[in-house]
Amino acid sequence: MKKTLFILFACCATIMFMSCEGPMGLPGADGLDGLDGSDGTPGVDGNVTCLTCHSTGTIQDIKEQFQQSVHRSGHVAVDYAGARASCARCHSSEGFIEFATNGSVEENISSPSAWECKTCHTIHETFEETNFASILRLADPISFIFDATVIADFGNSNLCANCHQQRRAEPNTASPGTNFEITSTHYGPHSGLQSNVLYGAGLAEIAGSMSYQTAGSGDHMTTASCTGCHMAPYGNGQGGHTWNPALDACNSCHGASETNFDYGGVQTTVQAQLDEIRDTLLARGVVAEGIDTLWVLDEETGLHVQEITSDGYHPVPGTYPMEDVQAFFNWTGLEDDRSLGVHNPKYVKAILTNTLEALKAPK
Ligand code: HEC
Ligand code: HEC
Ligand code: HEC
Ligand code: HEC
Ligand code: HEC
Ligand code: HEC
């Protein structure tokens, strides 16, 4: 690393000196050399611009925050999905950079990596920019995958929204009708639909006693966006480049002094509503609990015994009334969102309240 830096510095310095004086003029008709040209614009001073980033503690501090993040470890999703062409735009550094550059990922990636600084920032493309927030790899408003006509502007968080969004439309727009056939145990919107929830578009908006706010008008979409909560100034292991949501951000914007994210019991209420939907769907056979059997060593007897564990819930392939499938879609989507309503409290409340009403309505 030190050596590469030195060589790069040396190259920059050479370019700097070479560009100081214009070339000599062509020989004139009298056979004598022409006058020297005027001096060119001086090159950028390589050392100084490199050091504006490399000599500060900022990058070091951010690297330490970054080490704590799931983006850096990539432990859930990079290895398998990071390599597959259809998944890599969201699941590996190489895939995302290719998507950002060419608009698609053409081939599988042989050894995908987790996020690096250059995954999100276009560092080293010019050597002058020091404001990292303005060298984000994808900064434009996004057009959602579930419906490309829905275009949303999350500001700096457009970067995040490229990946943190659902991949499938809700059943009644994907395939309108009174029944819907679930064909796979993987059916659903796909994990990580936080930008849909924040924006308020993409879940199944079943009609009911609560009305849905206009998409894009949610309280946190217009005030905080992803970075406002997840990249607030670093402190207590939260915010900055850890991407853990920062309680300080909630409290300072709300003028509150809460000790957790369960403002006004919203998360508790949402979790209870989600559980009620799940239990109804379990009773109707739309959802089943996955069972895994593990062989574990019994310390006392020294024998391996079979232990039965839950492997989470999955949908059961089959044909069901549309509203049951919509309920499943909303339930699994909001479980995967994992903010328990915080991303968009009013939208989530309307979705869950109307979903429960539809499930309970006599058929
Ligand atoms: C806009 C800020 C910025 C500027 C300007 C900048 N760098 Fe970097 N550089 C980074 C970041 C961020 C990293 C990745 C973090 C790390 O490895 O420290 C990096 C990494 C590097 C690395 C390690 C290899 C790599 O690519 O990851 C080298 C070598 C390097 N920079 C050389 C230079 C040289 C030489 C210059 C000046 C010509 C320069 N940098 C200017 C931000 C910058
Ligand atoms: C290239 C796609 C991509 C981009 C860009 C991206 N993320 Fe992620 N993010 C992911 C994936 C995939 C995971 C899960 C990684 C894993 O588990 O291996 C993740 C994980 C996370 C987590 C941690 C979840 C956990 O399990 O703890 C948070 C929080 C998060 N992202 C927020 C953000 C925010 C905020 C931004 C924008 C500043 C952002 N992400 C940008 C794809 C992305
Ligand atoms: C997942 C995407 C992502 C990755 C990976 C990432 N950044 Fe950032 N970074 C951002 C975003 C988005 C912002 C703007 C935050 C805002 O607007 O508040 C930012 C802001 C910054 C800033 C300016 C604000 C500040 O906190 O000082 C610096 C410096 C920076 N990043 C450096 C780095 C370095 C160094 C790395 C690698 C160790 C890195 N970033 C990795 C997304 C990323
Ligand atoms: C549009 C972006 C996007 C695409 C395309 C995508 N994913 Fe993901 N996926 C995500 C995000 C974001 C997360 C992390 C969500 C979080 O941490 O909340 C995730 C999470 C996951 C997880 C872990 C979550 C869990 O439920 O345990 C798996 C496994 C996964 N994806 C597999 C895949 C596969 C396989 C493909 C391709 C067939 C794929 N993904 C395509 C964005 C995407
Ligand atoms: C109002 C603040 C706020 C905004 C805005 C926000 N988040 Fe969150 N986010 C949270 C909170 C709070 C949680 C749940 C933390 C908990 O209860 O442990 C969360 C959870 C998550 C998780 C799951 C993390 C985990 O550890 O399980 C991901 C991923 C995520 N948010 C990504 C995003 C993305 C991407 C955006 C923008 C589209 C966004 N968030 C906008 C506050 C916010
Ligand atoms: C940048 C400002 C900002 C930040 C940061 C922010 N909020 Fe909010 N939040 C608002 C605004 C504005 C409203 C709508 C007005 C109100 O209800 O207070 C709101 C509404 C809410 C509501 C709905 C209240 C209701 O009953 O309808 C909850 C819950 C909430 N926020 C929780 C959080 C949590 C938890 C965090 C941190 C993870 C957070 N907020 C971060 C600005 C913010």
DSSP-derived secondary structure for 18-79: HTTSPPBPPP-TTSS--PBPPPPPPPP-HHHHHHHHHTSHHHHHHHHHHHTSHHHH-TTTHH
Query: d(Cα 263, Cα 25) in Å, to the nearest integer?
Result: 74
Q: What are 261's two structure tokens?
A: 């994210």
Q: Helices then strands (H, E): number in the chain?
A: 17, 6
Residue 316 covered by a domain: yes
Alpha helix locations (H) across the chain?
A: 2-18, 46-54, 57-67, 70-73, 78-81, 88-91, 93-102, 117-120, 158-163, 171-174, 194-199, 219-223, 225-230, 247-254, 266-284, 322-337, 345-360
Cβ of 166 less than 6 Å from ligand 2: no
Per-residue pLDDT, 132? 87
Pocket test for ligand 4, best of 78, 84, 90, 120 (most atoms within 8 A of CB): 90
**How far, in Å, is the centroid of ligand 5 from the Cα of 233?**
15
**How far, in Å, is the centroid of ligand 3 from the Cα of 239?**
11
Per-residue pLDDT, 52? 76
**How far, in Å, is the centroid of ligand 5 from the Cα of 67?**
19
Per-residue pLDDT, 286? 98
Q: What are 130's two structure tokens?
A: 């020091």
Q: Are residues 288 and 193 in the same domain?
A: yes
**How far, in Å, is the centroid of ligand 5 from the Cα of 245?**
6
The residue out of 102, 122, 137 marking a domain boundary is 137
Per-residue pLDDT, 19? 36
Residue that has been written with the tokens 């042989």 in this structure? 110
**How far, in Å, is the centroid of ligand 5 from the Cα of 270?**
15
Task: Read off the amino acid at residue 43.
Answer: G
Count of structural domains, the chain: 2
Atom 26 of ligand 2 has which residue's CA nearest to it? 70
Q: Are residues 312 and 283 in the same domain?
A: yes
Per-residue pLDDT, 33? 54
285 phi and psi angles, rounded to 5 deg:
80, 10
Q: Are residues 89 and 206 in the same domain?
A: no
Q: Are residues 319 and 180 in the same domain?
A: yes
| Distance from the Cα of residue 233 to its chain's centroid | 19
Query: d(Cα 324, Cα 265) in Å, to the nearest integer?
Result: 27
Residues with CB under 6 A from ligand 5: 157, 160-161, 164, 194-195, 198, 220, 224-226, 228-230, 245, 261, 338-340, 342-343
**How far, in Å, is the centroid of ligand 2 from the Cα of 71?**
6
The residue out of 73, 102, 137 marking a domain boundary is 137
Per-residue pLDDT, 14? 35
Per-residue pLDDT, 7? 37
∠ at Cα 175 (172, 176), nearest 5°? 55
Query: d(Cα 229, Cα 219) in Å, to the nearest integer?
Result: 13
The residue out of 106, 137, 168 marking a domain boundary is 137
pTM score: 0.90
Q: Are residues 56 and 204 in the same domain?
A: no
Q: Are residues 99 and 213 in the same domain?
A: no
Tens place of pLDDT per residue across the chain (363 aa): 333 333 333 333 333 333 333 344 444 444 455 556 566 555 555 555 778 778 778 889 999 999 999 999 887 667 778 889 999 999 999 999 999 999 999 999 988 999 999 999 998 887 776 688 889 999 999 999 999 999 999 999 999 999 999 999 999 999 999 999 999 999 999 989 999 999 999 999 999 999 999 999 999 999 999 999 999 999 999 999 999 999 999 999 999 999 999 999 999 999 999 999 999 999 999 999 988 777 888 888 888 888 887 788 999 999 999 999 999 999 999 999 999 999 999 999 999 999 999 999 987
Residues with CB under 6 A from ligand 3: 58-59, 62-63, 66, 71, 115, 117, 119-121, 132-133, 136, 156, 159, 227, 231, 240-241
**Which residues share a beta bridge with 287?**
315
Per-residue pLDDT, 27? 43
**How far, in Å, is the centroid of ligand 2 from the Cα of 257?**
27
**Residue 303 burial (C-beta neighbours within 10 Å; 0-12, 13-18, 19+):** exposed
CB 99 within 8 A of CB 109: no
DSSP state of 192: -
Q: What residues make up the domain containing 314? A: 142-360
